[in-house]
Amino acid sequence: MIVKRFEADFFRNYTHLECDFHPGVNVITGDNAQGKTNLLEAVAYLSSASSHRARYDRELIQFGVDSAFLKGEVFSRQRDYTLEANLFRGTRRQLFSNGVRLKTAEELSGLLNTVLFCPEDLYLIKEGAAVRRRFLDDCICQLRPRYAAALAEYKRLHEHKTRILKDSEEKPSLLDALDDFSLRMAQCGAILIHYRAHFIKRLREVAPPIHADCSGGREKLSLRYETVSTVTDPEAQPKELLPQLLEHQEAHRAAEIAVRQCLSGPHKDDIAVEIDGNPAKLFASQGQTRTAALALKMAARDIFYQDTGEWPVLLLDDVLSELDARRQEFVLNRITSGQVFITCCEEEKLALLRRGRVFHIKNGTLV
Ligand code: ATP
Ligand code: MG
């Protein structure tokens, strides 16, 4: 997938932007607060109709203006597509592919997919399990519709069961429905665990070599799936996982009622990330954290390619800071497949760049 040409009107601090991108590496440079992240955000919006840092579309529209417009000429699946998005302050956004109105944002995926790495992604290594679960879920949902459906159902059941547990203090009869919810959660949960285990198996094959390459072979990344403790082989078929999940639930039934929370199930899953055998969450340095997070994101992109034959566009926001020269060189020159966008403030880093195009951004305009 390649974004060949791009236009933006009244998007964030861009009043009007038109540019032709390189099919390989595009480096976006400029001082702080000139619009580098905004440009990546605009490209990402055309792939998902959402932003990693805006809750509402109206935040993306330029101050004092009522609507914004994005247009990308994209080459994907051996064809050219024109993707457009109209954003409005008052009403819902409109999306178009080759002039035809799209009903849902999901229809964009498959035409343009992006993998974004942003400074917040360092949480992937440093924060609690929820961030890593979200990463897993996002990756697998893009590839497996059955997983997306099971996840949505699991979340619904989890909310409902939590409500039963919470309200049962006042209304004990609610507990009559508890076992039924537990069973359905275990059935959905078994599907989630099966898919997660298979995805992590692939991550374990793909991420460590990327990490070794970036770190010059000096560090070893390892990943391990952590799920419900009674599960002996998470890669097993869901029907084999089900009795093991039920066994765990049964053992925690009284405790769940006592603390009024769901204690059993894959909503507590995690990926243990280790560098040279030490938990990265506790011991990784800033550069190591960045390298590990980057390796996970790039591995997800590789897996997407293996499954679909298309490289998602890679958007790297502020990835170069805190990396030593070797790791910067890796980011700039060793990502040779697919299209990549990299933002950076320091112009002197560009001396390392061996191919691609440089864009200088100043106050929302290309100079
Ligand atoms: P840094 O190097 O600090 O990360 P950046 O170049 O990535 O900087 P951006 O995050 O792209 O900077 O933001 C550029 C400017 O856009 C900021 O000054 C911000 O206030 C402004 N901006 C954000 N949203 C809007 C909006 N809706 N309308 C107009 N300007 C906006
Ligand atoms: Mg920025």
> In this predicted model, what pLDDT tens digit does every residue of 3-30 receive, in sequence order?
999 999 999 999 999 999 999 999 999 9
* Closest CA relative to residue 356, chosen from 7, 29, 11, 80: 29
CB of 65 within 8 A of CB of 10? yes
Query: Please, which pLDDT band fits residue 101 given cuts at 50, 70 and 90?
Result: very high
362 CB neighbour count, 10 Å cutoff = 12
30 lines ligand 1 (CB under 6 A): yes
Q: What percent of the chain has a predicted confidence (pLDDT) above 90?
A: 89
Pair of tokens at residue 91: 């009403």
Residue nearest atom 19 of ligand 1, based on CA coordinates: 33
User: Which phi and psi angles does 104 have, rounded to 5°?
Assistant: -130, 160
pLDDT mean across residues, the chain: 95
d(CA 38, CA 15) in angstroms, rounded, equals: 12
d(CA 208, CA 190) in angstroms, rounded, equals: 27
For the four alpha carbons of 51, 56, 61 and 63, in that order, the dihedral sign comes to negative
pLDDT surpasses 90 at 201: yes
Residue nearest atom 25 of ligand 1, based on CA coordinates: 12
- 329 compared with 334, residue with greater pLDDT: 329
pLDDT at 351: 78
Residue nearest atom 9 of ligand 1, based on CA coordinates: 35
CA of 360 to the centre of ligand 1 (A): 15
72 lines ligand 1 (CB under 6 A): no
33 lines ligand 1 (CB under 6 A): yes
Closest-approaching ligand to the CA atom of 35: 1
63 lines ligand 1 (CB under 6 A): yes
Dump the DSSP string for 22-74.
-SSEEEEE-STTSSHHHHHHHHHHHHHS--SS-SSGGGGBPTT-SEEEEEEEE
pLDDT surpasses 90 at 80: yes
Task: Read off the pLDDT of residues 212-263 as tens digits, 9 standing for 90 and up.
Answer: 999 999 999 999 999 999 999 999 999 999 999 999 999 999 999 999 999 9
pLDDT at 349: 79
d(CA 104, CA 81) in angstroms, rounded, equals: 17
What number is the average pLDDT over the span 30-38? 97
345 lines ligand 1 (CB under 6 A): yes
Q: What single-letter DSSP state applies at residue 265?
A: S
Query: Please, which pLDDT band fits residue 309 given cuts at 50, 70 and 90?
Result: very high
Query: Please, which pLDDT band fits residue 190 given cuts at 50, 70 and 90?
Result: very high
d(CA 119, CA 58) in angstroms, rounded, equals: 23
What number is the average pLDDT over the span 95-118? 93
| pTM given for the model | 0.91
Exposure pattern of 304-316 as b/e (b: 16+ CB <10 Å)?
bbeeeebbbbbbb
Ligand 1 binding pocket mutation candidate from 9, 10, 11, 12 (most atoms within 8 A of CB): 12
pLDDT at 353: 82
Ligand 1 binding pocket mutation candidate from 10, 17, 37, 38 (most atoms within 8 A of CB): 38
CA of 99 to the centre of ligand 1 (A): 30
Q: What number does the ligand 1 atom closest to the CA of 60 have?
A: 27
pLDDT at 199: 98
Q: What single-letter DSSP state applies at residue 356?
A: S
* Residues sharing a CB contact under 8 Å with residue 145, sequence separation 6 or more, in sequence order: none
Query: Please, which pLDDT band fits residue 55 given cuts at 50, 70 and 90?
Result: very high
Q: What number does the ligand 1 atom closest to the CA of 318 have?
A: 4
Q: Sort residue 222 into left (φ over 0), alpha (ψ -120 to 50) or beta.
A: beta
CA of 137 to the centre of ligand 2 (A): 26
38 lines ligand 1 (CB under 6 A): yes
Which residues neighbour ligand 2 (ion) by CB within 5 Å? 36-37
